[in-house]
Every structure is written in C-alpha cells, then in structure tokens.
Chain A
Amino acid sequence: MGGTKYANAVAAVKAMENFLLTRSDLDQLISAATAAEMESLISARRCSGNEELTLEGVWEMIRGYAPDCVELKILLYKNDFHDLKAVLKSMLSGHDPKSCCIRPTNLDLDLLVKAFSSKEFDLLPDYISSTAEQAYELITRTLDGQLADSLIDSACMSAMQKAAEESGSSFMVNYARLITACADIKTAYRCAKMKKQRSFLETAVCGSPELDKESLIRAALGGPDSVLALLETTSFDEGGKLLSQSPAAFEKWCDDMIMELAQTARMQAFGAEPLAAYYLAAEAELKNLRMIRVCRESGTDRETITERMRKLYV
C-alpha cells in the first residue's frame, strides 16, 4: 500500500502543466508579427498572467514541494559538471567564473571556486570531487582543454548513471542511459570525423548498457560510416540516420526521445517521476522559446523554425 510519495508536489505540478505551452501556442508564437506580440502571447499563457518561466524558478518550485526528493538532483548533474568545466577554465585563464556558470545546480558556485583555488577537492560532493581533481591534474599537465572537457563530460554521464541506479527509479535510470547514449553517439561520430586516437576516445566515451563503450570506440576508430553501421544494429537506428544528415537533426531527435520518456511519467499520480518530467518539460519549452527568439532575430523562415521545434510535454 506504499508508493504514494509526493502526492502534494505531483498535484501542484499537474496544476502547473496547464500553463505550459502547447503545440498551437508555439505555432502562434512563430506566426507572431512582432517580438512584442510574441512576448505578450507568452505572458498571457503564464500563471497569474505575467510570471516568467525560468529553469531556476521551476527547480526552486519543485524543490519547495518535494525537498527530500534526492532522485531529482540527477537532473542537475549536467549543470554541475558544466560549472565544473567553467570554473576550471575561468580560473586557469583568470576570468570571473560567474559569467560562464549556469543555474540551477546542486553545487554552490563559491564552494566550487574554493575547492579549485585551495586544491581541496574533498570539499565537493563525492560524485564530482574525484573528477574535479583529475580534470585539474589533466589540464595543468597537458594544457589540453578539449581532453579535460571530454573527461568531465564522460564522468558526468557515469555519475548520472550511478546515481540513477542507486535511486532505484527506473525512470531516472532510463533518463541517465538515454542522455549517456546520445552524448556517446555524438562524441563517437565527431571523434570519427576528426580521426581521434583510441586514448582520447577512451576518456571521452562513457558507455551504457544500450551502447557498449568498447563497441562504440572500435566503431569510431573505423570512421563515421562505421559508427552509423553500429547504430543500425541498435535502437538508435533512426537517430543514426538523422546524424548522417545533420547534427542538428540528431540533436532534435535526442531531445524528442527525452520528451517521449518524460511523457511516460505524465499519467502517474505519485512519485518523483512526474516532478522530473515537469522539469524536463520546462527545459524543452525554454529551449523552444530560445530557438524561436534567435531564429526570428536572424530572419529564419517560419517553416525552418517549425521544423526545429522540439516535442512538447502537453
């Protein structure tokens, strides 16, 4: 008779789903004559009429309703590791890290800066401390920023998969594996095009049960066609075909796959899954809005903008 966790949070999130943009809203935004008209359309859809949707706001709201939900932290691992890269490079180049960091994260930026400046990596949480130390050691020894980035990205995927498995949530496990597989495919394909060595690939590719690390490395060493041939034998066949056409199409396919996964949690009345799904929905919506704004500014035609729109949650 268990399994009724976060009833309050899930109900609140379901009420807020009414304020998310729908496909017809996006079409209206794309067709809006001016940027001002577009912004007024967005405001009209929001809760209370004029609240701006930000990922940080969504995160604070979800955490406010479910402060003890540890599974949700996995969603921010990408941001945590991004900030790790930003702080590492900013400190080495003497820039202010705040300008390159993103929010929301699980990590306090000042703590991250302190860990690097004092070389006390133990100050950081377990899932990131060893990566921070390795990345620092690697970049100071080799001065290879790309290799350090690859190390951090790969460690991020590993940390996500490990945390998801520890959480026992099949939704989070599937999310972590999907994110990992998509990142690995992009890395392997790009490395294959750039004819990267095995040593680089071993650092950059993370691996997941869906896409074995060794198979992917071997395929990448064989060239881009070899990567696509490998994907044909997996559930990422469709993504592989799109990747051969354009990396942007593959990116969209990955985002749509994540949204399809999020939609599996939409019917649930309890648990962390609908909360995670709402966060992913807000992420997709903000990505779409950003794309519409940028494309409108650059004069991209409406058909192209429509093609680029990611799948929505509602």
Chain B
Amino acid sequence: MTNMGIVLAILGAALAALLAGIGSAKGVGLVGEAAAGVVSVDPSKFSKVLILQLLPGTQGLYGLLTAILMLSRIGVIGGNAAELTTAQGWEFFIAALPIAIVGLISAIFQGRTAAAGVGITAKKPEHNGKGIIMAAMVETYAILALLVSILLIYNIEV
C-alpha cells in the first residue's frame, strides 16, 4: 500500500484525459454528422461548419493539459516520481475531477448546441457567428473547471 498515493494521482490524470476526451469525441462526432449533412447538399459551407465542429474538441485538450500538469507535478514525466502519501494521492485524484466530469458533460452538450448551430449555418449562413457564440457559451464551464483543476494541482504540497 506504500505506492497507493502515486497510483491515485496517476488514476486522476488518466481520468482527466479519458473522460474529457470521450466527451470531446462524442461532441465533435455529433457536429461532424450534422456538418456532413449540410456539406453533402452545399459543399461551399464546409469552412463555416468546420469552426462549429472544432468547438467541442477543446475539452479533450483541457483534459490532456490537466493530465500533463499532474504528471509533471508528481514527477512521472521527468522520470523521477515523487513519494506520495495516500492522502496526497487522493488530493491529486480529486483535483482532476472538475475537468474530467465537467469536460465530459460540457463537450457533449456543446456538441448538441454546435450541431443545432450547423442548422443555422445551413439555412442562414450569414448568421453563422450566432451559432458559434451559442456553442461557445458552453465552453465557459469547461474553462472554469479547468481553472479549478489547475489551482488544486498547484496547491497540493508534494
């Protein structure tokens, strides 16, 4: 049980990358479906719908960033893993949860909003920006979660 701390910290990092990545994959996939529908009828709208498709992909990047920061903090990336107590391990694990959970859920909902935005682009391409803004609003909560995760990671004493 002496290694429990590092195991929990690595599990937290893995969850951050995994859940946020799953959310992004689902979100980007959904918008991609909608975008493909529009492009199959009007290929000239490709660049406009592509921006919408990219939006739910950011949560996956936030999860990756969190995981890298955590692995760096505990020394796994440098090849000199820190000796963590179980309590410290739990602290790192909990620090990963905001971006892991909020990233998963917000990416899926951002995908839905962006897919609906693809409908706006299909019918009224001149209002494409409104669809982007609506989808970007969902991003706020992923950014807040990322911020909380980073603050927690840097405030854990190693």
- What residues make up the interface of A, taking CB atoms closer than 8 Å to B? 1, 4, 7-18, 47, 65, 269-270
Contacts and interface: CB of A to CB of B under 8 A. Distances in A.
Given A7-B34, A8-B37, A15 B115 contact: no
Interface stretch (B14-22, B39-47, B57-65, B88-96): B39-47
Given A4-B115, A14-B119, A15-B38, 19 more contacts: A1-B105, A1-B109, A4-B112, A7-B30, A7-B33, A7-B34, A8-B36, A8-B37, A10-B37, A11-B35, A11-B36, A11-B115, A15-B37, A15-B123, A18-B122, A65-B37, A269-B112, A269-B115, A269-B118
Nearest to B29: A7
Contacts of A11: 33-38, 115, 118-119, 122
Nearest to A11: B37
13 contacts: A7-B30, A8-B34, A10-B34, A10-B119, A11-B122, A12-B37, A12-B38, A15-B37, A15-B42, A15-B123, A17-B123, A269-B34, A270-B115
Given A11-B38, A14-B122, A1 B108 contact: yes
A12 B38 CA distance: 5
A8 B109 CA distance: 17
Contact of A15 (B31, B109, B122): B122
A65 B34 CA distance: 11
Contacts of B123: 14-15, 17-18
A18 B38 CA distance: 11
B4 interface: no
Given A4-B30, A7-B33, A14 B115 contact: no
Nearest to B31: A7
Nearest to A269: B116
Nearest to A1: B108
Given A4-B30, A7-B30, A7-B34, A12 B41 contact: yes
A47 B122 CA distance: 13
Contacts of A47: 41
Nearest 9 interchain pairs by C-beta? A11-B37, A12-B37, A269-B116, A15-B41, A11-B34, A14-B122, A15-B122, A8-B37, A8-B33
A1 B118 CA distance: 19
Contacts of B42: 15, 18
A84 B3 CA distance: 75
A269 B122 CA distance: 11
A15 B120 CA distance: 9
B115 A16 contact: no
Contacts of B105: 1
Nearest to B42: A15
Contacts of A14: 37-38, 119, 122-123
Contacts of B40: 12
B38 to A, nearest CB: 5
Contacts of A17: 122-123
A199 to B, nearest CB: 51
A123 to B, nearest CB: 36
A15 B121 CA distance: 8
Nearest to B115: A7
A15 B45 CA distance: 10
Find the residue from A8, A9, A15, A47 having the highest chain B CB count within 10 A: A15
Contacts of B112: 4, 269-270
Contacts of B31: 7
Interface string B44-56: 0100000000000
B96 to A, nearest CB: 22
Nearest to B117: A269
Nearest to A270: B115
